[in-house]
């Protein structure tokens, strides 16, 4: 297959015209082509006049002739299909591999294990999606929190109630496997070609449930409402696990518990496993009118039907820290994401249509082990203290503290609701957000926001709103593993995904789950019987 990249066309042009331009570049007649289509599409809005940028895929009738066209222009390359090679292990397992956690990492790990006949047992502390959705809606309406069924815990993990972004900075070929699997299970076809693909929380739920059903159809088993509570070790090797539903023999355990499993982190430390600190970030959710963001990004072209909903990603170095935006949700809402009693946590979510009035994004500042004397317990305690302070500032009932951006910049606690109506589902209360953070972090965030105004006009406009606090950007801890993905300190244990400190987002977590599954498959044969 030939890829013709960087075809730049006006917004008025069609995909057919992009294909025609690719043929012109290649000096190819249409009759020589067996198949053609759009491989990628993005927007370049850097020069105030947005254009569409296409990558076109061309398959010739004579595929053997394709390499000769690679030098037709600098933008032309030959692409070969990626094949997932899975060496077969020889050591027979006595028990099924156990996967703990059914977020993206656990889900894709279990899927690949199931496709290779290893019939994994999956433990998920929360409920299946249908019951989880009910629990989230109940919390949103009443403030009654279920610690095991919320936006952090349950089938699909924390990413289920997000924008469903599949963007990632990793360049692993397994990303293609993840995308293809999503497509097989009902994700919209556009995720294969968009520069910034997203599924949306509404469609993502259906996809996740479908993948889980495939796991079950292939002989895997999923046990919901079952949490990991302990490990049994014999002769320096994992021999069994303790759960809320009893004990189980276990030789291979994939630990994919997500970034909010604080009780599991404590259990691991009590079991003698040493966690280390890893960087994470804290801050707020910033809300603007979606139309205002698009006007700043697209200028006079804002509103053109060929343009995607405007989204941004900003970063600014301030001293030795980075202030950046995270999980930007066009046309989305800010959601109550607590998983512990007495703490307020914010996150962002949007549906596939992204048709809400507001854009929201996390605006956060980095912290790391140096801030906590390299003590993971202190890092987790720091998160919890911030969440509890936000709860008190909101007045209880999981209302969230909020203020206008200019008020935050001035060190005040004023909240005036104008064109931007806050979307946080438990309601907001005017409060001094800066007072909830260490002074250095608050001042660093202020400097970052001022810099953002120079990048996106109106970012610090009077009607813009900050809602706090955002504390669960990623796991604050890491459990060390070897090159074979096995835990450095305990044979048979495989730390995996975001909770273990090896991913950040849906795509990278899913890929890490596949990497761990591949390592297990290359070592072990399925259990007999």
Q: How confident is the model at residue 11 (pLDDT cuts 50, 70, 90)?
A: very high
| Poorest-pLDDT segment among 57-66, 370-379, 394-403, 438-447 | 57-66
Residue 30 burial (C-beta neighbours within 10 Å; 0-12, 13-18, 19+): exposed
How many angstroms separate the CA atoms of 513 and 391, rounded?
Answer: 34
Tokens found for residue 458: 């109106």
* Helical (H) or strand (E) element with 441: helix 439-455
82: pLDDT strictly greater than 80: no
**Mean pLDDT value of segment 44-65:** 93
* Helical (H) or strand (E) element with 388: helix 376-393
Which pLDDT belongs to residue 85? 81
**Mean pLDDT value of segment 79-108:** 91
Percentage of the chain exceeding pLDDT 90: 92
> Mind listing the pLDDT tens digit for each residue in 171-226?
888 999 999 999 999 999 999 999 899 999 999 999 999 999 999 999 999 999 99
pTM: 0.95
Which pLDDT belongs to residue 170? 86
* Helical (H) or strand (E) element with 430: strand 428-430
Which pLDDT belongs to residue 202? 95
Q: Tell me how many degrees the CA angle 147-151-152 measures, rounded to the nearest 5.
A: 65
Percentage of the chain exceeding pLDDT 70: 100
In the beta sheet, which residues pair with residue 287? 360, 465
Which pLDDT belongs to residue 529? 61
81: pLDDT strictly greater than 80: no
| Poorest-pLDDT segment among 55-59, 170-174, 480-484 | 170-174
DSSP 8-state class, residue 527: P
Q: Sketch out the chain's domains with CATH numbers.
A: 2-78 (3.30.70.2700), 91-276+479-525 (3.50.50.60), 279-470 (no CATH)
How many angstroms separate the CA atoms of 59 and 379, rounded?
Answer: 52
> Mind listing the pLDDT tens digit for each residue in 414-437?
999 999 999 999 999 999 999 999
Q: Tell me how many degrees the CA angle 122-123-125 measures, rounded to the nearest 5.
A: 150
How many angstroms separate the CA atoms of 487 and 354, rounded?
Answer: 40
Give the CA dihedral 150, 352, 354, 156, nearest 10 degrees: 20
> At residue 291, what are phi and psi to the nearest 5 degrees?
-65, -35
Q: How confident is the model at residue 344 (pLDDT cuts 50, 70, 90)?
A: very high
**Mean pLDDT value of segment 87-97:** 92
268: Cα within 13 Å, side-chain hemisphere: 25
What is the layout of strands, in order, in the sheet containing 246-249?
A: 228-234, 237-243, 246-249
Return mean pLDDT, the chain.
96
Name the one residue in this structure whose structure tokens are 């809300």.
287
The residue ranking higher by pLDDT, 527 or 319, is 319
123: pLDDT strictly greater than 80: yes
Which pLDDT belongs to residue 236? 92
Closest CA relative to residue 383, chosen from 420, 413, 340 = 340
Which pLDDT belongs to residue 75? 92
């Amino acid at each position: 297959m030939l890829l013709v990249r960087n075809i730049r066309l006006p917004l008025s042009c069609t995909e057919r015209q992009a294909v025609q331009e690719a043929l012109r570049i290649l000096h190819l007649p249409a009759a020589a082509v067996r198949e053609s289509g759009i491989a990628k599409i993005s927007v370049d809005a850097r020069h105030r006049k947005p254009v569409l940028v296409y990558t076109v895929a061309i398959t010739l009738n004579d595929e053997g002739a394709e390499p000769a066209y690679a030098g037709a222009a600098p933008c032309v390359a030959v692409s070969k299909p990626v094949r997932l090679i899975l060496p077969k292990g020889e050591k027979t397992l006595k028990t099924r591999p156990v996967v703990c956690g059914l977020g993206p990492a656990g889900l894709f790990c279990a899927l690949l294990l199931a496709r290779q006949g290893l019939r994994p047992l999956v433990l998920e502390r929360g409920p299946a999606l249908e019951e989880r959705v009910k629990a989230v809606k109940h919390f949103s309406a009443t403030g009654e929190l279920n610690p095991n069924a919320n936006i952090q815990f349950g089938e699909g993990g924390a990413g289920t109630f997000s924008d469903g972004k599949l963007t990632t900075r990793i360049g692993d070929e397994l990303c293609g496997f993840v995308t293809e699997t999503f497509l097989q299970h009902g994700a919209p076809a556009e995720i294969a070609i968009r520069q910034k693909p997203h599924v949306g929380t509404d469609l993502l739920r259906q996809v996740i449930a479908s993948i889980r059903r495939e796991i079950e159809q292939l002989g895997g088993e999923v046990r919901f409402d079952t949490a990991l509570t302990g490990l049994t070790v014999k002769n320096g090797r994992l021999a069994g696990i303790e759960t809320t539903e009893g004990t189980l023999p276990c030789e291979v355990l994939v630990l994919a518990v997500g970034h909010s499993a604080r009780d599991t982190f404590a259990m691991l430390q009590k079991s003698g496993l040493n966690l280390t600190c890893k960087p994470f970030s804290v801050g707020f959710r910033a809300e603007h009118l979606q139309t205002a963001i698009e006007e700043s990004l697209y200028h006079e072209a804002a509103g053109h039907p060929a343009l995607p909903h405007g989204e941004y990603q900003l970063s600014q170095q301030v001293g030795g820290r980075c202030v950046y935006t995270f999980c930007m949700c066009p046309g989305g809402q800010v959601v109550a994401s607590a998983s512990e009693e007495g703490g307020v946590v914010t996150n962002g979510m949007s549906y596939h249509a992204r048709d809400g009035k507001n854009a929201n994004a996390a605006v956060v500042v980095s912290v790391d082990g140096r801030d906590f004397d390299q003590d993971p317990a202190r890092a987790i305690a720091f998160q919890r203290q911030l969440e509890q302070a936000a709860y008190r500032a909101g007045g209880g009932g999981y209302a969230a503290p909020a203020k206008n951006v200019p008020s935050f910049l001035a060190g005040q606690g004023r909240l005036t609701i104008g064109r931007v109506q806050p979307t946080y589902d438990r309601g907001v209360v005017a409060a001094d957000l800066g007072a909830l953070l260490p002074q250095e972090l608050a001042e660093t965030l202020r400097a970052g926001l001022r810099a953002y105004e120079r990048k996106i006009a109106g970012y610090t406009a009077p009607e813009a709103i900050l809602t706090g606090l955002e504390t669960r950007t990623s796991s604050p801890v890491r459990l060390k593993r070897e090159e074979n993905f096995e835990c450095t300190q305990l044979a048979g244990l495989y730390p995996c995904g975001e909770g273990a400190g090896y991913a950040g987002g849906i795509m990278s977590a899913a890929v890490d789950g596949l990497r761990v599954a591949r390592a297990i498959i290359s070592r072990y044969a399925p259990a007999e019987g």
